[in-house]
Structure 1
Amino acid sequence: MKFINYVLCSIILLSVSTSGSAQKYKAPADMVKLNKEYVKVSNEITDINAQLTIAQNNLPGYQTTANTATGNV
């Protein structure tokens, strides 16, 4: 029973200390870097979504071309 209490207390202590030692943005410059990175990732997501939409719109044409090509063989 003492071993279980020891393990449980250790797990709780480790989980609390891990979140307590997580990186915190201490300077305004850190927040500026974070915001720049966020904007960059958001723009990449927007570009990928646009490419996906274009590919989905072109898919019926590709399927028609593929069916025509297999029909001519």
Structure 2
Amino acid sequence: MFGQLEERLGNLPQGKEAYELGLKQCPNSTPLWLSLANLEERMSWLSKVRSVLTVARKRNPHFPGLLIFFISI
């Protein structure tokens, strides 16, 4: 929720830090992975989006939503 708040306030780097901190605590949280990927896309780091989604897929191999999101990029 803190990452979303920072995003809404326009503090994208702080939002990214919040998502990364959350992923250290909950590495299998697909909503966090998708939020981080969306934030990276908003920051125009498409190569970083791909790497975030690759790691997310490795940590959550049975979640088809990550694969669909990955293919759409």
Q: Does TM, scored on the shorter chain, surpass 0.5?
A: no
Q: Normalising by the residue count of structure 1, what TM-score does the alignment of the two structures yield? A: 0.30
Q: How does the TM-score come out when normalised to structure 2?
A: 0.30
Q: Between Structure 1 and Structure 2, which shows a larger proportion of helix residues? A: 1
Q: Which has the larger radius of gyration?
A: 1
